[in-house]
Structure 1
Amino acid sequence: MKRTAVLKKLKQAAKAAGKDFSLTELTNHTGVTVGQTRSTLGRHSEIDDVTARKFFDQYAKELGKGWWRK
């Protein structure tokens, strides 16, 4: 999955849920905050599907369980 697609999907889900979404560029990663949950995503053009799923799982508290499947 492309990195831009991962971020776009997360941003759309945050907007639909009424949560704040922000990106912070760090040294080698991008900090992503949705509501009160913060995580980092590497700056690779292609994100492995397993990695993307684990990244999405970190936001289940904010967006609901399995939100990326909808």
Structure 2
Amino acid sequence: MKRRKLERKLREIARAHHLDLTFREGGNHTIASIGNVRSSIPRHREINEITAASIIRYFERNLDGKH
């Protein structure tokens, strides 16, 4: 999955929960935050489908009931 597509999907999740999505650069990864839930995203242009799906699933599970 392209990194931009993953970022777009995370923006949709944040919008659905009425929260802000922020990115900050860590040492070797980008840190994505939606509300107070954080996850690291690899800095590759192309992200493995399994990795991208697990990042999306992580945010969806941890934001349920917190909006």
Paired amino acid for 2:22: S
Paired amino acid for 1:23: F
Offset at residue 16 of structure 1 (A): 2.4
Distance in 2 (alpha carbons) for counterparts of 1:26 and 1:32: 10
**1:19-41 Cα distance to aligned partner (Å, 9 max, x none):** 12110011221000011110100
- Structure 2: 5+ residue runs without aligned partners? none
Identity rate of aligned residues, in percent? 34
Offset at residue 48 of structure 1 (A): 1.0
TM-score by length of 2: 0.83
1:55: which partner in 2?
A: 55
2:29: which partner in 1?
A: 29
Aligned length: 64
Contact 1:14 1:63 in 2 (8 A): no
Distance 1:36 1:14, change over 3 A: same
